[in-house]
Amino acid sequence: MVWFGSLAPAPEAGAYPGSEELGTDYDAWVGDQVSLTGTVIDTDPLTISAEYGAGEQVRLRVSNAAVDAQQGDTLSVYGVVEPDRELSSLNAYTVPPGNYLYMYAVSFLAGLWVLGRIIRSWRLDETWSLVPREAPLRIRDIISRPKHTEDHDA
């Protein structure tokens, strides 16, 4: 499983060529099925830019895509490579940029929640090992409340 992403394209195993293969030798893949993701840079005609190598870009026109893509969206497309840098889409979907912000925000909050659970239920011992607490830590244990003293003699 670790090496799966580093293997050569093998469509029979579900590993279709992507932007790396199309960017380095486009003509070798004409007529083959590919799967790649890129950023929509134009909507008429639908054109995406996919990164490969060390920051290089391959621009491809996408035909037959039944999606409402907007400039800046991320488009994932599975299709057939046609001549002249065109993909004939068999399946495609878009992801608006706002979805990534939502994903990162939710992941950050979930990380804070997990960190809080670890701090509440575990402690470091003298060997710097995590050991379970005898009783879960409470917020009151962390934040001491100021004690109010009243002077009744004044």
Task: For residue range 76-128, list pLDDT tens digits in order.
Answer: 999 999 999 999 999 999 988 788 889 999 999 999 999 999 999 999 999 99
pLDDT value of residue 146: 59
| Same structural domain, 64 and 19 | yes
Claim to verify: residue 30 and residue 47 sit in the same structural domain:
yes
- Of 58, 80, 95, the domain-final residue: 95
Q: What integer is the mean pLDDT of 22-50? A: 94
68 and 113 share one domain: no
Residue 44 within any structural domain of the chain: yes
Instruction: Classify residue 35: in a domain, yes or no.
Output: yes
Assess if residue 105 is contained within a domain.
Answer: yes
Quick one: DSSP state of residue 14?
T
Domain match, 50 and 113 both:
no
Q: What is the mean pLDDT of residues 28-42?
A: 95
What's residue 53's pLDDT?
Answer: 87
CATH number reported for the structural domain that contains residue 37 in this entry: 2.40.50.140
Q: With respect to residue 18, please indicate whether it lies within any of the assigned structural domains.
A: yes
Amino acid 1: pLDDT: 54
Domain count for the chain: 2
Tokens 């391959």 label which residue? Answer: 58
The helix/strand/coil state of 86 is strand
Share of the chain above pLDDT 90, in %: 68
Query: What local confidence, expressed as pLDDT, does residue 137 receive?
Result: 86
Same domain, 137 and 87: no
- The predicted pLDDT at position 87 comes to 95
- Is a pLDDT exceeding 60 seen at residue 153? no
In a domain, 6, yes or no: no
The boundaries of the domain holding residue 116 are 98-142
Q: What is the mean pLDDT of the chain?
A: 87
Q: Determine the Cα angle at 62 with ends 33 and 65, to 5°.
A: 90
Average pLDDT (133-138) is 88
15-33 confidence digits (pLDDT tens): 788 999 999 999 999 999 9
Is there a contact between 77 and 101 (Cβ–Cβ < 8 Å)?
no
Are 89 and 27 contained in the same domain?
yes
Residues 67 and 86 in one domain: yes
